[in-house]
Amino acid sequence: MTPMLGIMASQISGHLASGAYASIATATVGSGGASSITFSSIPSTYTDLQIRAMAQGGASAAAINVNFNADTTSTAYWHLLYGTGATAAAYTISTAYIQATTLSSTANTNMFNAGVIDILDYANTNKNKTLRGLSGYDANGSGTVALYSGQWINTAAITSIVLTVNNGTNFSQYSHFALYGIKGA
């Protein structure tokens, strides 16, 4: 049997095994940047959601914060494990949002971060929502790779997602985001 590589193999593991990806929405940042990216009116017809990002933000190292349903009162917990090639660190944090991917900074002019965020069982109203994020970028010999996980302590179905840069700066021009729905078995 020939092993499957790439995108096909990524659909076979874990929770997303029987998934077929359907494009829901995309956003590309124009001239001047954008302080946030919003995906709204998300249909509840999928099992899971996935956000794919090619993004850059701020003048210093940054990350993408994820907020569900414009909720600023529920608690969220997130975990981060990252490495730069020279150092490694891990964190556990409780906030009103979930941090989900790293971002390359504008200091690395033409280098954008690649990240994938999976939001599991987003429409299930019987449990809190979880996500996982994997991201990284190379800056000609330096850079970062990061693994995130998070939980939003709320059982509401997710109908909107707002992405912001954690250090208060904008997403850079040409940053691109795509939201996909993943169909179950």
* Domain limits, the chain: 18-182
Q: What would the CATH number be for the domain defined by 18-182?
A: 2.60.120
CA 181-182-185 angle, 5° bins: 145
114 φψ region: left (φ > 0), alpha (ψ -120 to 50), beta (else): beta
Note the pTM of the prediction, 2 decimals: 0.86
Q: What sign has the CA pseudo-torsion 167, 171, 175, 180? A: positive
| Rounded CA separation 161/39 (Å) | 5
Express each pLDDT in 17-32 by its tens digit.
456 899 999 999 999 9
Neighbours of 161 (CB within 10 A): 24
Express each pLDDT in 54-100 by its tens digit.
999 877 768 899 999 999 888 999 999 999 888 999 989 998 889 88
Express each pLDDT in 139-177 by its tens digit.
777 788 999 999 999 999 999 999 999 888 899 999 999
Q: Specify the DSSP class assigned to residue 157.
A: P
